[in-house]
A and B are shown apart, each in its own frame.
Chain A
Amino acid sequence: MPSDTRSRDAVDSLPGAWLSFVGGPWVDDIDVRDFLQRNYTPYAGDASFLAGPTARTRALWATVEGLMAAERVGDYRVDVRTPSRITSHAPGYVEKDRELVVGLQTDEPLKRAIMPNGGWAAVRQALEEHGYEAPALLDEVFTTYRKTFADGVLDVYPPNVRAARSAQIVTGLPDDFGRGQIVGDYRRVPLYGVDALLAAKRLEKAALDMERSTEDVIRDREELAEQIRALADLAAMAFSYGYDISRPATTAREAVQWLYFAYLAAIKEQNGAAMSLGRTSTFLDVYLQRDLVTGRITEEEAQELVDDLVIKLRLVRFLRTAEYDELCAGEPTWVTETLGGTGEDGRPLVTKSSFRFLATLNDLGPAPEPNLTVLWSDRLPQGFKDYCAEVSLDTSAVQYESDELIRSAWGDDAAIACAVSPLRIGKQVQFVGGRVNLAKALLYAINGGRDEVTGRQVAPLSAPVEGEVLDYDDVLAKLDRTLDWLAETYVDALNCVHFMHDKYSYERLAMALHDRTVLRTLSCGVAGLSVVADSLSAIKYATVHALRTTDGLVTEFAVEGAFPSFGNDDDRVDEIAASLLHAFMTKIRRLPTYRNALHTQNVLTVTSNVSYGRVTGSTPDGRRAGEPFAPGANPMNGRDTHGMLASALSVAKLPYSDAQDGVSLTTSVTPDGLGRTREERVANLVGLLDAYMLSSGYHLNLNVLDKGTLLDAMDNPDRYPNLTIRVSGYAVNFVRLSREQQLDVLSRTFHVTV
């Protein structure tokens, strides 16, 4: 093709950075996917090529582990004086002479920064909780002169949102912390260098200057101005570390360093709930492979670069409040890196670097971050599948998501943000936040809109159920009306949140690494799906008596007879869950969204299934008031009695078209339950993943653990500093969970025979 020839010539004429790369449209326009597709080297072999950690890596990691141990016992460092900007802090190092990849959020490792633009009250509270005092000057500035995101949201929440929020039927809204989940295409920086990205953004702005100055155009111009400033700051920050990233990276080491600088700049300004990395391993592999081929580096040195990057990602810290930590236990940062998957052309996107990233869990020991996520397909090379299974067996630190579902919806250059949310890198932005408590909605429907705990009228007044025995059609009709109100209230809240986040806490660096025109999605979440499915099943198939307090509030239920429960591959109840999800999605879709975002939905709770359960009264499925929900889309603990896969197949019936932001399933199996020999366990685990994904399963958080290990870890946390388990959509250090959350994990169904 003529254009290809022209591009190839262009590459050939470039000596340095792109030497030996295959050209294409990516040469003329910013198009990382095109670069990848033309230049990556698929790897279909096994893990035997991997080189272990070097002495240097081990020494550096030992230093970091020492710092983390001190942090665990209370050495909690914060720079209280310096509101963080890309260029706010002097360079920081762990051990300058040993580090191959440099850059820290502040001037010292594990020292947290303050980011008041998100909300001053939360910063002040977090400081107080950790024994610090907020400087008086900052207090004055951020209460008198500079309005924050959180202030903005409070100005515009309508009363129904406030009521729903305080009743906790709408929960976890990111309205006093960063929304996060906006993933810059950090690969653009090594591939093109900051100067080229600046030039492209200036062109975009010049094009906007030609348009009439309407509200949208003005906003876009201002955002582009911010992006341009952020890119300049990024180059300045790198320069302070002694690197000139205005030009493209020329070596693998530079590529890793440039990419990390880009990510670092993003997290220096955003204390986002999830600050994900994207899909970088196969991109970096192009550079590693080029240097390996020319003999510039050895396999050991390639692994060292990946290990060093991962060490940096494990050092990411944010200042957060205790309340936040309760919702998202164990301080997740969701530095999610997406591995594997297949391309549109059918070639697996697995490279040697996909292995190298997983190998860090062996080289450095298991850890919750970065949140390594494999896009699984039965078409992945056997060697990679086997290695994934081995790493899961050894570390429980990997999560799996369906390559098929994600690629067919979002293309083959999509990554996971946070836990389960897919997005096209550099081309899509998620407006995400919180979730609605469906179990509470069911109780509101039964009680005419009154809260079952406080008795307050939260939803609009409607007719409560009458009589003693609940009628399925009657409850369903009432629930439908309640969900109408809930959908409106929730989308209202999210629109307010994201309007204000764009206005007061704009992710200028991450957005500078996006196309000018992006697809925005409004990702709505639901919690308590299995509670409601089982409750409706009980009402339909058994006899449920409503028990009322003296003022007529239904607060308890008595169930007579048996009913099918979600998690046993039984269509009778699984269809109830699916239709509930569909009903809520349909209601969400009818509502206008901020910036015309496309509506999506997720079934994900992180660890907040415990706190949502705590504020929710007894439910018709027999769950008592205050008892936890199941996490994510999980069946209720102990009710999935026909094996792990039967449980997973129920979840797999929730249609992806109604939950395009992801459906989370967390499962625990014991090693013995997977087979008698290691080979058998690996083969059976691969088979289970294939079977689940082929059955349209979307996500699997997989723990391979003995309950005994967890019990021992509760009593002897010191012996298990690195014990990592998967909870809903992310991994945590088990010993950093609260006791209540640890007990919740233990009460979950352990599939001792899988």
Chain B
Amino acid sequence: MSSSHDGAPVVDLSTPLVGGSTHRTAGQGTQGLLNADFDRPERLAQVRTGQLGSLHSWELVTAVDGPGTRLTVFLAGCPLRCLYCHNPDTLEMRRGTDITAEELLKKVSRYRGVFRATGGGLTLSGGEPLMQPAFIGRILRGAKEMGVHTTIDTSGFLGAAATDAMLDDLDLVLLDVKSGIPDTYTRVTGRELQPTLDFGRRLSDHGVAMWIRYVLVPDLTDAWDNVEVVADYVATLATVARVEVLPFHQMGRDKWDALGMRYELADTRPPTPELVERVRGQFRARGVEVH
């Protein structure tokens, strides 16, 4: 996109992007973190024990990935293939950069003052953080030892990989429930819905606070019934602090092209404000805080 004014220099005028994690393109790169360089067997051993993780990028963000200003770490690799994925470059773990847990925790430690001043903390996002359970377990433990507020942003599909000890180290989970009707869920993500529902239930039983995210895509996830099922489910969870309805947008489109991947939603338009309000209303009717 560029300005079309006669004679003016061409400047990038990309549309401002609204907050919302699953809705937000990932940060750019791991600059500032020391890349780890191990030979193959050593690397595998480090990965297995969670001393080594595959990262896409990090960013200091405010207001979108949990309360306050947060160090959001995008991990590489995801088991889902959501049609609307905004970070398709995080789908494959092999595209990530190897970073040790020690190095990442140093980064967390560096921002303790920022977290204190802003009421923020650490958010592990992706990708799917639960693809690397040993690594994030180590990171969350380390962060808690420093007294840092911790969050993961997850689809819940790999919730079974989270140990109870890991749940103890989580202050907040951003749980993306991408559809209520199982068939729709599978059409959107290529996977089953049930593990997500199970994980949400487990978080609720364990007393872990949740923000539920729902990405609203016209003609894909916007059906009244589909939303009703999610809203009913959310109403049964005891620890949901808020629901965020995130309007679909086309910010990730160029990335699909750049990766040479087929993007099915090229012609889909963002939902109208009326539609967004309707869906928010469906959640609000259950008495939860909705944004």
Contacts and interface: CB of A to CB of B under 8 A. Distances in A.
Contacts of A548: none
Contact of B9 (A642, A645, A676, A743): A743
A753 B31 contact: no
Contacts of B28: 641-642
Contacts of B114: 645, 649, 691, 695
Contacts of A649: 60, 114
B134 to A, nearest CB: 26
A711 B27 contact: no
B119 interface: yes
Nearest to A569: B32
Contacts of B244: 676
A706 B16 contact: yes
A695 B113 contact: yes
Contact of B69 (A572, A687, A747): A687
A675 B63 contact: yes
Interface in B25-62: 27-29, 31-32, 57-62
Nearest to B114: A691
Given A681-B63, A694-B113, A641 B16 contact: no
Contacts of B261: none
Contacts of A670: 16, 18
Nearest to B113: A694
B62 A642 contact: no
B11 interface: yes
A746 B11 contact: yes
Nearest to B242: A676
Interface in B12-32: 12-13, 15-19, 24, 27-29, 31-32
B117 A690 contact: yes
Contacts of B24: 753
A651 to B, nearest CB: 13
B8 A676 contact: no
B195 interface: no
A646 B58 CA distance: 10
A642 B117 contact: no
Nearest to A739: B8
Contacts of B119: 683, 687
Contacts of A750: 16
B95 interface: no
Contacts, number: 127
B277 to A, nearest CB: 14
B3 interface: yes
A672 B57 CA distance: 22
Contacts of B68: 684, 687
A677 interface: yes
Given A707-B13, A743-B8, A747-B11, A691 B32 contact: no
A743 B63 contact: no
Contact of A644 (B9, B15, B58, B60): B60
Contact of B58 (A565, A642, A674, A753): A642
Most buried by B among A706, A750, A752: A752
Contacts of A42: none
Contacts of A684: 62-63, 68-69, 118
B62 A675 contact: yes
A743 B31 contact: no
A648 to B, nearest CB: 9
Contacts of A133: none
Nearest to B290: A676
A89 B291 CA distance: 59
A643 interface: yes
Nearest to B7: A739
Interface in B237-291: 244, 291
Given A687-B62, A746-B13, A752 B18 contact: yes
A10 to B, nearest CB: 46
A346 interface: no
Q: Is the interface of A mostly helix, strand, loop or mixed?
A: helix
A598 interface: no
B83 interface: no
Interface in B134-192: none
Nearest to A687: B118
Interface in B92-139: 113-114, 117-120
A383 B113 CA distance: 22
A344 interface: no
Nearest to B58: A642
Q: How large is the interface on B (under 10, 10 to 19, 20 to 34, 35 or more residues)?
A: 35 or more
Q: Is the interface of B mostly helix, strand, loop or mixed?
A: loop
Contact of B17 (A572, A642, A674, A752): A752
A564 B16 contact: no
A680 B211 CA distance: 15
Contact of A674 (B8, B12, B62, B291): B62
B35 to A, nearest CB: 11
A708 interface: yes
A688 interface: yes
A569 B24 CA distance: 21
Contacts of A645: 60, 62, 69, 114
B61 A643 contact: yes
B108 to A, nearest CB: 13
A673 interface: yes
Contacts of B120: 687
Nearest to B115: A691
Contact of A642 (B5, B8, B27): B27
Given A687-B68, A687-B69, A753-B19, A641 B62 contact: no
Nearest to B251: A752
B78 to A, nearest CB: 20
A651 B8 CA distance: 30
Most buried by B among A638, A677, A691, A740: A691
A482 interface: no
A567 to B, nearest CB: 10
A672 B246 CA distance: 12
Contacts of B15: 707-708
A642 B13 contact: no
Interface in A26-80: none
A298 to B, nearest CB: 38
Contacts of A706: 16
B64 interface: yes
Contact of A708 (B16, B27, B60): B16
A182 interface: no
Most buried by A among B29, B58, B69, B113: B69
Given A643-B60, A746-B11, A753-B61, A676 B31 contact: no
Contacts of B62: 643-645, 673-675, 684, 687-688, 753-754
A570 interface: yes
Contacts of B19: 672-673, 675-676, 753
B12 A568 contact: no
A575 interface: no
A378 interface: yes
B291 A570 contact: no
A691 B27 contact: no
B109 to A, nearest CB: 13
Interface in A516-566: 564-565
Interface in B57-90: 57-64, 68-69
B64 A753 contact: yes
A706 B117 CA distance: 26
Interface string A644-656: 1110010000000
Contacts of B17: 673, 752-753
Contacts of B13: 707, 711, 746
A691 B68 CA distance: 11
A139 B57 CA distance: 65
Most buried by B among A564, A565, A690: A690
A754 B63 contact: yes
10 contacts: A378-B117, A641-B28, A642-B59, A643-B60, A644-B60, A673-B19, A688-B62, A690-B117, A694-B113, A754-B63
Which 8 interchain pairs have the tightest Cβ spacing? Answer: A687-B118, A641-B28, A643-B60, A570-B32, A754-B62, A691-B117, A690-B117, A676-B291
